[in-house]
A and B are shown apart, each in its own frame.
Chain A
Amino acid sequence: MNVEQFIRRFAEQFDETPTHDFTVDTRFKENDEWSSMTALSLIAMVDESYSVRLTGDDIRQSSTIKDIYDIVSAKIPNQQA
């Protein structure tokens, strides 16, 4: 699992904020675009790209993109390169 690629995929769920605004430390819930719809898109992206089931509580407990990245990494059954 590649962190740069993860940030890019994460950023794609935001329609207006430019991708380069996002880093591992970005506190994504402070972004004006963040909403329940972005959360659902994030869940769908993680499901599609990593076959991982991210929950609402996972998102609630997270502040930064790194937090989500760590949760997804931990849930990947056979660690991909």
Chain B
Amino acid sequence: MADYTYNFTGKTILVTGASSGIGKQICLDCAEAGATVIMLGRDEERLKQLLYQLEGGSHQVITGDLKDEQFIERACQGLPLLDGVVQSAGLMKLVPLKFINAAFIDEMLAVNLRAPILLLSALQKQKKLKPASSIVLLSSVNGVAVGSLANSVYGATKGALQSFCKSASLELAKTNIRINCIAPAMVNTEGTAKISEHVSAEAIEADQKNYPLGRYGTPADIAGCCLFLLSGAGSWITGSTITIDGGFTAQ
């Protein structure tokens, strides 16, 4: 019988974008479930702070820039065998069409699309993924399910992750490794708070009314689904995208 529990004792989970927002919550919840968490991010100080907050003792921090292909290769070489990988590092910036330039597109692609693909490729090349391990990519409802103003490049990168996930799932299926996307709508995080500076508090209040469940998401709303996909309860789910949006795209 499959293990439906969220007991992650003995499992090692790699999380990118671990220093804030959704990634941070996933680290906290995985550690609480008993996993050894390897946190990958840019901000060493914040990652070290998180390290002290995590339950259990054998967690690890790796700092570096995922835009750097060589860093990705090097980081993978030092890793133990993994039971799960969560790629939540991402960049969002609202830029209207007429202000888009090559540098902006390149940066968004490098962080949101190229990095997760290169990391998975390196993990696979270096045989770091245990059979029956689970990969979770943080996508968005933006791009495939809906669009939003000034968010076209972000949406393109997040939509591309879902496209990537499908073919990758076929290759990984041979070793019973699963890969899925989570597509959240608006989640309150440090990152989205920065975006929210662009809009007034009243506009945010009004926007939350567009959500049937009446509010934006929390990092915990997303981490819950992520742990489900990492657990044995998700054993027959691969190549899929799970939408978590408070009903936003049901309308």
Do B199 and A56 touch (CB < 8 A)?
yes
Tell whether A76 is near chain B: CB-to-CB under 8 Å: no
Interface of A is mostly: helix
Do A56 and B99 touch (CB < 8 A)?
no
Which residues of chain A (24-41) have a CB below 8 Å from chain B? 36-37, 39-41
Set of chain B residues within 8 Å of A60, measured between Cβ atoms? 200, 202
Set of chain A residues within 8 Å of B201, measured between Cβ atoms? 56-57
Report the separation of the CA atoms of residues A55 and B218 in the bound assembly, to the nearest whole angstrom.
23
The contact string, 1 if C-beta is below 8 Å from chain B, for chain A 38-81, is 01110111001000010111011000000000000000000000
The contact string, 1 if C-beta is below 8 Å from chain A, for chain B 96-139, is 10110000000000000000000000000000000000000000
Do A36 and B197 touch (CB < 8 A)?
no
Set of chain B residues within 8 Å of A57, measured between Cβ atoms? 197, 200-201
A-B contact count (CB 8 A): 41
Tell whether B2 is near chain A: CB-to-CB under 8 Å: no
Report the separation of the CA atoms of residues A13 and B94 in the bound assembly, to the nearest whole angstrom.
15
Do B95 and A37 touch (CB < 8 A)?
no
Q: Which residue of A lies closest to B202 (CB)?
A: A60
Q: A40's contact among B149, B196, B200, by CB below 8 Å, is which?
A: B149
Report the separation of the CA atoms of residues A59 and B203 in the bound assembly, to the nearest whole angstrom.
12
Set of chain B residues within 8 Å of A55, measured between Cβ atoms? 197-198
What size tier do the contact residues of chain B reach? 10 to 19
Beyond A44-B150, A55-B197, A56-B197, is A36–B98 a contact (Cβ under 8 Å)?
no
Please give the distance in Å from B11's CB to the nearest CB on chain A: 41
Report the separation of the CA atoms of residues A43 and B94 in the bound assembly, to the nearest whole angstrom.
9
Do B96 and A41 touch (CB < 8 A)?
yes
Q: Which residue of B lies closest to A38 (CB)?
A: B96
Interface of B is mostly: loop
Do A48 and B96 touch (CB < 8 A)?
no
Please give the distance in Å from A28's CB to the nearest CB on chain B: 15
Which residues of chain B (142-166) have a CB below 8 Å from chain A? 149-150
Do A44 and B96 touch (CB < 8 A)?
yes
Set of chain B residues within 8 Å of A53, measured between Cβ atoms? 197
Q: A56's contact among B95, B96, B150, B196, by CB below 8 Å, is which?
A: B196
Set of chain A residues within 8 Å of B196, measured between Cβ atoms? 56
Report the separation of the CA atoms of residues A41 and B99 in the bound assembly, to the nearest whole angstrom.
8
Do B197 and A40 touch (CB < 8 A)?
no
Please give the distance in Å from B85's CB to the nearest CB on chain A: 34
Report the separation of the CA atoms of residues A37 and B148 in the bound assembly, to the nearest whole angstrom.
10
Closest A-B pairs by Cβ, 3 of them? A44-B99, A56-B199, A55-B197
Q: Can you list 8 A-B pairs, Cβ within 8 angstroms, ordered by A? A: A40-B149, A41-B99, A44-B94, A44-B95, A48-B99, A53-B197, A56-B200, A59-B200
| Additional 18 contacts, C-beta under 8 A, given A43-B198, A56-B199, A60-B200 | A37-B96, A39-B198, A40-B94, A40-B198, A41-B99, A44-B94, A44-B95, A44-B96, A48-B99, A53-B197, A55-B197, A55-B198, A56-B196, A56-B200, A56-B203, A57-B197, A57-B201, A59-B200
